[in-house]
Amino acid sequence: MDKYAEITRTIIGAAMRVHGALGPGFLESVYKRAMVLELGRAGLAVQVEKSLSVIYESAVVGDFTPDLLVERVIVVELKAVQAIATAHEVQTVHYLTATGIDVGLLLNFGAPSLQFKRKHPDRHSRYHPLYPVHPPPALPVHPVQKSPVVTKPLIDISRPLFTGSPHWPGDTDTSFRLSLRIAEGKPCNLGTLRLSVHNGTHADAPFHYNDRGTTIDALPPEHFVGPARVIDARGQASLHRGLFDGLSAADLAATPRILFRTDAWLDLDTFPSVWPLLDRDLPAWLASQGVTLMGLDLPSVDPLTNTDMAIHHLLDAANILILESLDLRDVVPGCYELIALPLKLRGGDGSPVRAVLRAM
């Protein structure tokens, strides 16, 4: 591992938290100020728009001002564009080469997911100046052969909803029926659905357990999309800090969404009566590690017999959102991209979600 690896991971983790909170669409200056705050919290020394000398044949011929200089050894360039372009990468390499800085990070907040590139002046000699004095000779033009776009498959972690599907005792059950049928001479099939918003895989809004909490429609969708880590909690009597042994603060900072796989509810057709619970100190500890969302393959973070929703309140105090009733049976513990968007249900205390993971 090189000497810059830990600082690099911390910077990327901070950028992921900023992107997860703000999402795309703002000016670079907004992300810059947020990054200064996050890096300061991480204990890193940050200089904003620090002028660096440009060296040519041992002489200072000008200066370059990066967006951020971290610990005096890593240049951080921020973008807010649709995608990082080759020109951005080449430019960053030239900056490093001309100033003598060993490592550069190119961070783009303008895409749906954070984009980042690490650059080094000695490892990118294949790059040439963007505007060479003597242009290369023209090359023959050959037809471009299109290659298929390769994307990693989605892993569905949602429980099915169907008439009579398991639900919390006393809640509205799930009922789906076709009120119109083509087979009966109608122009279309038309379905009607009735259910509690907490049936099946769902998100809890803070309004569910706090009368002054945010309703589901007011929660930024970015909270439910982004880097996530699946934690193996199979066979555990409770969910506790020991499950994170071996993970550094930077590891957790890079995945602010935590999903617990317990395998304590494997039967999709029945509702369980008991399941593992969170240790009472876990929500505050997760918050201290930068976690903003927690999900689990269980009906609730509280027990079936609860009357005060105590663990919901602990997570609310820690500003951690909740996903419940996930199906993680086929998911290998590790890092993924989570997509679990709730419905924009005005005034709702929760919403069903179609939750999926994609390997990172």
Q: Which residues are catalytic?
A: 208
DSSP state at residue 285? H
Do residues 322 and 312 lie in contact, with contact meaning Cβ atoms separated by under 8 Å?
yes
Residue 358: partners with Cβ closer than 8 Å, 6 or more residues away: 151, 152, 153, 154, 155, 336, 337, 339
Do residues 261 and 235 lie in contact, with contact meaning Cβ atoms separated by under 8 Å?
no
Residue at 19: amino acid letter: H
Residue 108: partners with Cβ closer than 8 Å, 6 or more residues away: 78, 79, 80, 81, 83, 84, 88, 114, 115, 116
Tell me if residue 51 falls in helix, strand or coil: coil
Half-sphere exposure of 346 (CA within 13 A, CB side): 0
Radius of gyration of the chain (CA): 25
Do residues 238 and 260 lie in contact, with contact meaning Cβ atoms separated by under 8 Å?
no
Percentages helix, strand, coil for the chain (3-state, rounded to 5) are 25, 25, 50
Distance separating alpha carbons of residues 77 and 70, to the nearest angstrom: 11
Distance separating alpha carbons of residues 172 and 195, to the nearest angstrom: 6
